[in-house]
Amino acid sequence: MSERANLLDFTLPALTEWLAAHGEKAFRARQLFQWIHQRGVADFDAMTDLAKSLREKLKGIAEVRPPAVLSEHRSADGTVKWLFDVGAGRGSKSNAIETVFIPEDDRGTLCVSSQVGCALDCKFCSTGRQGFNRDLGAGEIIGQLWVANRRLEEMEREGFSSRLEPDEPRVSSLASRSPRPVSNVVMMGMGEPLNNFQPVVDAMSMMLDDLAYGLSRRRVTLSTSGVVPNIRKLAEALPVALAVSLHAPNDEIRSRIMPVNDAYPIEELLQACREYLEVSPRDFITFEYVMLEGVNDAPEQAHELARLLESVPSKVNLIPFNAFPDSGFARTDMARVRRFQQILLDAGYIATVRKTRGDDIDAACGQLAGQVVNRMKKKYVRIQSQPGH
């Protein structure tokens, strides 16, 4: 007997086509899609407006199979981290990815992984230190959101709030929170999203679909280290909010800490960003900048960064470095971070300092490591541009 189809793998058009091949009409795909994603239901018997014959048919040929949760950790600040098993049936049970939910007073943000590990080997990132195993499928990507919404709703009922109110204790407030715990998604977990292009685009299209999660393009952010040809492909396929991991004011420093810069130097990257703004749902690009003591945090480097970004409407997000064993880097003193920030503010930029969240459960930025059986560890190379890109 062939393996049952995982319905989390299907966008609505793909689900419509799949059901048509099984003799079902298009409106059944819309119903099924809503049950799975809007309502978070996996049991076909509970899908009461589907014909009983279809429910019985689905039991034999399909399932809703999210990645299995290996562990769940809750931080003192309300952050939740899940470790998902993505190794079963693929030759190794050692592969696992991490997903993090960050509650704020006005939103709930889910940080989603796109690959098992990462091939880019950024020197300050613990994920890159582990190497790369494989890309995630669309169902494994959207499955992180599917599980997170279900678990957070269960936790709400247990008294754990998925929203933090300023200066208030964390208590359950079902009446005041948004209909779904996750209101924002950032593709900033393990992996380089643009190196797993089509599954990431398919998963994000499900996030945006009004029959699924109904998120706006402004509330879905893709973070990239700067894979230039695929930034241009994303602009054509599904322009969402864009964040770029810059982390340096010049090519010399960036190439030292981010090998991808050898393939796509800063000026090429900024040109792609300028082009992306023509279709972006936001009128600026967010540039992520991790503060590394003695590497990229000097006042003169802040001035250099301000000059570099003059031609790109920008928001700069300064990130305190989160240490991990044998990283070789140290966190910049907060007073020095604030001085760096003030230089950017004085130059007219929006410049924020990211609040460290979930570091007591290793869920902070740059700490996601999961469990990765490394299959590739090599220098990053240029992608050959396809015609039209």
Q: What is the dihedral of CA 243, 338, 319, 267, to 10 degrees?
A: 40
- Return the SS3 of 96: strand
Q: Mean pLDDT: which of 159-168, 260-269, 315-324, 361-370 is highest?
A: 260-269
Closest by CA to 59, choosing from 13, 1, 142, 11, is: 1
SS3 for 138-206, per residue? HHHHHHHHHHHHHHHHHHHHHCCCCCCCCCCCCCCCCCCCCCCCCCEEEECCCCCHHHCHHHHHHHHHH
On the question of pLDDT at 174 being above 80, the answer is no
What whole-number percentage of the chain has pLDDT above 90? 74
What's the whole-number mean pLDDT along residues 82-89? Answer: 82
Better-scored residue on pLDDT, 52 or 157: 52
pLDDT of residue 162: 53
Contact 69, 83 (CB under 8 A): yes
Show which residues are catalytic.
98, 365
Q: What predicted TM-score, i.e. pTM, was given to this entire model? A: 0.88
Of the ranges 4-18, 88-102, 155-169, 334-348, which one carries the lowest mean pLDDT score?
A: 155-169
Does residue 168 carry a pLDDT above 50? Answer: no
